[in-house]
A = this chain, B = another copy of it.
Amino acid sequence: MASEYVYFFSKENTDGKKELKNILGGKGANLAEMSSLGLPIPPGFTITTEVCDIFYKNNKSYPDNIKKEVLENLEKLEKLMGKKLGDDKDPLLVSVRSGAAVSMPGMMDTVLNLGLNDKSVEGLAQLSDSRRFAFDSYRRFIQMFGNVVIGIDHGKFEMILDKEKESKGISSDLDLKTEDLKQIVIKYKELVRKETGQDFPQDPIEQLWGSINAVFGSWHNPRANKYRELNDIVGLIGTAVNIQSMVFGNLGETSGTGVAFSRNPSNGENEYYGEYLMNAQGEDVVAGIRTPFPVSELEKDNPGIYKQLIDFKDILEDHYKDMQDMEFTIQNGELYLLQTRNGKRTGLAAIKIAVDMVEEGHLTKKEAIMRVSPNQLDQLLHPSIDPAENYTSIAKGLPASPGAAIGKIVFTAAKAEEMSKKGEKVILVRKETSPEDIGGMDAAEGILTSTGGMTSHAAVVARGMGKCCVAGCGELVIKGDNTCEISGKSFSEFDMITLNGTTGEVIEGELKLTTQEISGDFEKFMEWVDEERPINVRTNADTPKDSEIAIKFGAEGIGLTRTEHMFFEGDRINSVREMILADDKAGRVKALKKLLPMQMEDFTGIFKVMNGFPVTIRLLDPPLHEFLPQSDKDLKELAEIIKVDFKKLKEKTESLHEFNPMLGHRGCRLAITYPEIAEMQAEAIIRSALNVKKDGIKVLPEIMIPLTGTEKEFVFLKEVILKKSEEIFAETGESIEFKIGTMIEIPRACLVADKIAEQADFFSFGTNDLTQMAFGYSRDDAGVFLPEYVEAGILPKDPFQVLDQEGVGQLMKIGIDKGRSVKPELKIGICGEHGGEPSSVEFCFNAGMNYVSCSPFRVPIARLALAQAKIRKDRS
């Protein structure tokens, strides 16, 4: 007969089950579930989360019926255990723990050893045959209760403890004798009296209610509120309270405690894996004062217990159908399980476990797909810091591109290339990178910048290269003299540092890195993923090399080729500059002629790799001044190369300067002012497509116009492209089908998407720019306030990392709806950085897009995220 608000659990009699997580909390539901399975759980009961809600609504008190239910369940527990709470002779001791439906580790309060008082401590001493243990337990209880329930500063108890140790000349708590602990208990009680004017409560029932109040009260402590805000935990009505009989692993050599995983969390091997310590409490294992033993030792030392553990983990894994992370305690030779939960694991392990569990018949393929987090795949694809390394970072920036890298500091791209040629590993350290630095970025192991956010040039390019990058590291100050300061410490050129691009950490010196092998399991898993995946995944790639990598990772075409990235390679930049600096159209056309064969070479290479897949090529996007050198020295060099007067060159360069280049003369605006650029690019695309077609390659070019804000911009350039293509078809007598579409990255484009859709063959959402403009944030400057915004909870996430569905997403939906309202079959994709971020990818699928496109190394992440999104949608 279950109560309404209190759920009992024991081997014999359990009211709850795991499906009741909402009202029992995660911990309470799991305790109930394990009890029902007949596992040895110290019995107890759970007060539901509804009571937490009632507690707050009822002026922090309880209606009589609830009080009655709690006491009835306590009686039931006492009866089952054959003990009485706080009894003088044979005391029942309990723990009082919080436990909400969503795990909030360390956020709320816990009281252990409840039931001890001046008398029952003697009973415990008798029973346990250890006075030291009993008084140490009492001491801990008073400290915990005094702090958590009464609200006395924790430091005041610590001070008493420290003084006692000092007076005895000892440094470890473990060296305290029984008499010392007794003294401490006395002083603790004095402290309580002094602070509250009342004695420490001796009545166990009073202790119990005080602790329950404290746990419910901690639901709304500032720390817990903040945690929920930061982690977007909403819709919970409160925490449950778990009251459970205590077991002790520190009662002697036949007692002990340990943690174990049902499979190896590092590599996923199906082997029992964990550590234990005899005569110890949980915190001893964690604190590292004594070195725990691998659980395999237990097989020799205590085969009976070991066999039990193996049986239990099989039961639990079979039941939860996932790898389990378990805590256990052995009390006087008897095994108890205290907790089980799905175990954390590396990406490698996640894949292996998922695949194995399908093959073992534990999971369906769909279930297995849901068991691997898309972000875990990152670990598989990049080198990472060896888990055995124990390090402290000296600064933290944004985790701009995952993986790890070690190398010598260099401050210029040229130096990076020079050193790399000598076989040296280098880290390129810059305020921010620019397209001119591409060569140096490619040569470097990793990139560290002091400004710029998750979609800064450094971040975007590094991700495209699959190269580690820490961006916007505010603690980095670059000095002019080949030195820099990181968090106040000076570093010179060639000093060694390590970057962790997955966390954003910067570490002094050299750490060991590991690279994980991509196993056959990965391929099998991704095959299953692709069976569920509902829409295409393309890649953002600018070179045949990147395209090849992406194909290996499963890309089904290119969603974005940034033609301007090709403009920096080798001598091309000089032709580009000649074009920019030309006085008139004739001069530009002359320079563009030189670029034409180079662009054709690029496109030809990409088309060959992408045989049979669509290739979306974006026309020139960045403002022209990005291609010009900035310093007088470089300008003088350029003046000589292209034979232009330096002063004139400088004037021209200055005239191209923009106050807000992100909102300036770029994208289609450039091509409208200088249609000859679009003509050259269209010509390069069409001609190289015709060439590879002759070789039997299936080529599907999609020409993409950037930064469209009005229908007429699109029409203007569409006509330029069509005219050029017709000329070429007429000249060659050959033809090829191609599409002309547009980026949707200007807020206004979303609002007039119906008009643009009448003209365009496809849309591709450029969510980097769309985020910049919808928020009014410059991706290069927002680093100053965005981290603070996220920390203060003003924004849930950096919107350049995770798509802002509320605002930017609303604009996208307007764009999609309007576009499809005039052209129901309009092909729509995304090629912003969000195209490789799992929650954003899910949004894109649900919004009705036809594909997502992301950097090559994120392709597997997007594939998995899409499969999961589909499965979630089908289930809902």
Contacts and interface: CB of A to CB of B under 8 A. Distances in A.
A227 interface: no
Contacts of A811: 747, 751
Interface string A763-807: 000000100111111101110110011001111000000001011
A477 B648 CA distance: 12
Contact of A748 (B669, B774, B794): B774
A672 interface: yes
Interface string A219-260: 000000000000000000000000000000000000000000
Interface string A651-676: 10000001111111100010011000
Contacts of A777: 663
Nearest to A655: B477
B716 A782 contact: no
Contacts of A795: 710, 712
B780 A659 contact: yes
Contacts of A673: 784-785, 788
A766 B769 CA distance: 21
A440 B768 CA distance: 40
Contacts of A804: 748
A662 B663 contact: yes
A707 interface: yes
A170 to B, nearest CB: 42
Contacts of A477: 651
Nearest to A777: B663
A287 B713 CA distance: 42
Given A774-B748, A785-B665, A672 B794 contact: yes
Contacts of A788: 672-673
A752 interface: yes
Contact of A663 (B660, B747, B808): B660
Q: Which of A477, A658, A716 has the most CB of B within 10 A?
A: A658
A664 B777 CA distance: 6
A709 interface: yes
How many copies of the chain does the oligomer comprise?
Answer: 2
B659 A808 contact: no
Contacts of A784: 664-665, 673
A50 B707 CA distance: 41
Contacts of A807: 709-710, 747-748, 751-752
Given A662-B663, A663-B663, A716 B792 contact: yes
Given A747-B774, A774-B773, A794-B716, A785 B709 contact: no
A663 B778 contact: yes
A149 to B, nearest CB: 32
B659 A710 contact: no
Contacts of A775: 709, 746, 748
Interface in A706-732: 707, 709-710, 712-713, 716
A487 interface: no
A296 interface: no
Nearest to A474: B655
B664 A782 contact: yes
A746 B776 contact: yes
Contacts of A782: 663-665
A662 B665 contact: no
Contacts of A707: 776
A777 B664 CA distance: 6
B663 A810 contact: no
Nearest to A795: B710
B658 A781 contact: yes
A752 B810 CA distance: 9
Nearest to A651: B477
A631 to B, nearest CB: 16
A745 to B, nearest CB: 8
A778 B664 contact: yes
Contact of A747 (B658, B747, B789): B747
Nearest to A714: B794
Contact of A709 (B432, B664, B713, B776): B776
Given A659-B662, A669-B785, A785-B672, A776 B769 contact: yes
Contacts of A751: 774, 806-807, 810-811
Contacts of A774: 746-748, 751, 773
Given A775-B746, A776-B707, A792-B672, A661 B663 contact: no
Interface in A510-556: none
A873 to B, nearest CB: 24
A707 B778 CA distance: 14
Contact of A661 (B710, B716, B781, B794): B781
Contacts of A662: 659-660, 663, 776, 778
Contacts of A663: 660, 662-663, 772-773, 776-778, 781-782
A713 B782 CA distance: 15
Contacts of A746: 774-776
Contacts of A810: 751-752
Contacts of A752: 806-807, 810
A78 B467 CA distance: 89
A781 B672 contact: no
Contact of A794 (B659, B712, B773): B712
Q: Which of A662, A776, A777, A804 has the most CB of B within 10 A?
A: A776
A709 B810 CA distance: 14
Nearest to A707: B776
Interface string A270-309: 0000000000000000000000000000000000000000
B710 A781 contact: no
A479 to B, nearest CB: 9
Given A778-B664, A782-B664, A806-B752, A713 B747 contact: no
Given A752-B807, A806-B752, A665 B781 contact: yes
Contacts of A712: 793-795
A789 B672 contact: yes
A458 to B, nearest CB: 13
Nearest to A786: B669
A780 B660 contact: yes
Contacts of A780: 658-660
A672 B477 CA distance: 24
A190 B804 CA distance: 75
Contacts of A748: 774-776, 804, 807-808
Closest 10 CB pairs of A and B: A663-B778, A660-B778, A748-B807, A664-B781, A659-B780, A747-B747, A712-B794, A658-B781, A660-B660, A660-B662
Given A659-B780, A773-B776, 7 more contacts: A660-B661, A660-B780, A661-B778, A663-B782, A664-B778, A716-B792, A751-B774
15 contacts: A658-B781, A659-B780, A661-B781, A663-B663, A663-B773, A663-B776, A672-B792, A712-B795, A746-B775, A746-B776, A747-B773, A747-B776, A748-B774, A751-B774, A769-B776
